Structures are given as C-alpha cells and as structure tokens.
Amino acid sequence: MIIHVPGDEPSITDAINAAKEGDTIFIAAGFFNEAVIIGVGKNKIRIIGAGIGKTILDGTNLGSNLDGFNIQASNFITIENITIQNFSRFGVFIQQNENILNQLKITKNQRDGVCIENGAYHNVVLQCESIENERDGILVLGNHNFIMKSTLSSNKDCGVNIQGKHNLALNNNSTGNRFDGFLSDNECNAFIYNTSSKNGEDGFDSEKNLNFLFWNKSIQNEDDGIEVDSNSLLLGNECKYNKKNGIEVFSSKEKETKSRMLHNILTNNNYHGISLEGNGNLVDKNTVSNNDGAGINIINDGNAIRSNQMNQNKININNKGKRNKID
C-alpha cells in the first residue's frame, strides 16, 4: 500500500501508525513539526520525502530528548529525501538492524546527527549530509554498519565517531569538524577512499588495534593526518599540509605497535612525514617529501624502514632508537 502525507494521513506519525509491513509512505513538500517513532510491526516500510530542502522534519519547540526519526522496534526501514533539523537529541536514532538512510540532510540537532545504537548492525548511511550538529555528525556504537558517500561538516565533535567493531566508512568527506574527521575507538574498522580536511584535530584517529586505512586523503588538519595505535594497516593514503605529522604511530607505552605502512604519500606536513613512537613497525615503499621535520622520525626500536622515496625533508631519517633496519 502507498500512503500519501498529507493527502491520506495528516502527519508522518499518523502515516506510520496506519502503515503495514512493506508499505511506502510518500511525504509531500512541506514543514512537519513532529518527532517520529517507528515502533513494532513496521518492518520494510519506506518513508520518502519530496527532496532535501523540500520535505523538512523540524523539532523546534517540541521539548527535550526527542529525535527526528527514532527507529525503535522495526527492521529494514528506508528513509530518504528529507531534511531533519533542530531536534533536542539525535536527528536519526537507529536502535534496530538492516535499516537504510539515503539522501538525508541532518542538521542543527542538539546531539549527534545520526546515532547507531550499541547492538544495532547492518545499517547503511548513504549519500547523507550531517552538518552543524552539536556533537558528532555520525556516531556508531554498534558493529557491522556502513557509512558511505556521505558529507560530515562543521559538527562540534567528530565527523564520524566509530565506537563499535567491524564497521566500514567508504568514500565519505569529513571537513571542518571541531575534533577528528574520522575516529575509531575500537578494533577492526575499515576506512576506505575517504577525504578528511581542515578538521580541528586529526584527519583520521585510530585509537585501538587492527584497523585498516586504504586510499584515504588527509589534508590541512590541525593535528596529524593519520594517527594510529597498533597492529593497523595503512595502504595508499595521502597526507599533506597537516599541522603536525603526516602519519603518527602513537604508543602510550613503550610496546610493539606492529603497524604496517605501505605506498603512502606524505608531503608538506609541518612536523614529520612519518613519526614512529612504538616498536616493531614496518614502513615500506612510501613517498615522503617536503616535510618540515624528518621524513621518517624513529623514536623507538625494532622497526624496518625500507625502499622509501625521500627528498627535500629537513632530514630524511632521524633514528633515535635501536635495532632499526633501514635501507
């Protein structure tokens, strides 16, 4: 069944209440001042607006702790072509699984633009804008979720903040956020073909083990282009014009961090191209040039530095450690 708002039902909430599993709700252009909860028995419904800037879900003066859309108790929900703004909590709060957010603009909400709750999995955020929210553009607490082809800008925390495991951020643009462009505070997350620029801290900040960063660009961030902790793989990334290091392998203790950096390009950063603060890392076949500090700055021991192309750094290699293999 197809339900039109306001033709068949006067509000989005009324349309949700009337919908059966698998129904489609078309929302006309207009201004809708309501908070929408999607409860039980609504699996596979589609909610489709007339377009960003045309169908506007607005939370002004509705009260505290309200979300634009709260996917509370159903799965396989699709929401698309809507602007969601000015809510006292999240723009979209996803508590269930296998939902799709497509072509939404989520802005000026008092917490995160999108929050994917702990325990929620296989959700997709695709071609969305999450901008000027009071916390993160997108907060991912669950595992196995997908953030793709979205824009995160001017949020007052991070662009994308991933606290769960086994999540994917693919082909997103994160710019002008107060803290990190992309943050992973858990293991086994993948960041592929993203751009992070002009953020207030790191372009990419990987605080835990076993994360994968491939073919990303990190440009003109206020801290490091990429900061990783341990056992991570960095392949084919480009970090340039960052205020600190292109890549920093950070260790809060003197330990084996065992990260691998292959085929990355590190140019014109204000500190070092690559700074190694842990032990046992592998740095092969990177291009490191025109950095204001060392091309590769080695602080600790047992690293392998091989076949890198380095030129016009203040010093190409600064080796302060022991048992480092350099060729």
Give 278: exposed, middle or buried? Use CB within 10 Å, 0-12, 13-18, 19+: buried
Domains of the chain and CATH, by start? 2-178 (2.160.20.10)
If you search the block for the tokens 């999240």, which residue do you land on? 90
The tens digit of pLDDT for each residue in 199-225 reads: 999 999 999 989 999 999 999 999 999
Give start and end residues of each alpha helix (H) in the chain: 12-18
Indicate if the pLDDT at residue 68 is higher than 80. yes
* Residue 50 in tokens: 């007339």
Give the 3-state secondary structure of residue 189. Answer: coil
Give the 3-state secondary structure of residue 18. Answer: helix
Q: Give the model's confidence band at 251: pLDDT under 50 very low, under 70 low, under 90 confident, else very high.
A: confident
Q: Give the model's confidence band at 58: pLDDT under 50 very low, under 70 low, under 90 confident, else very high.
A: very high
Indicate if the pLDDT at residue 253 is higher than 60. no
What's residue 255's pLDDT? 63
Asked whether 300 and 276 are in contact (CB, 8 A), the reply is yes
Asked whether 157 and 176 are in contact (CB, 8 A), the reply is no
Indicate if the pLDDT at residue 254 is higher than 90. no
- How do beta strands 46-48 and 260-262 pair? unpaired
* Residue 60 in tokens: 């002004």
* Residue 234 in tokens: 């960095």
Element (H, E) at 3: strand 2-5
Indicate if the pLDDT at residue 128 is higher than 80. yes
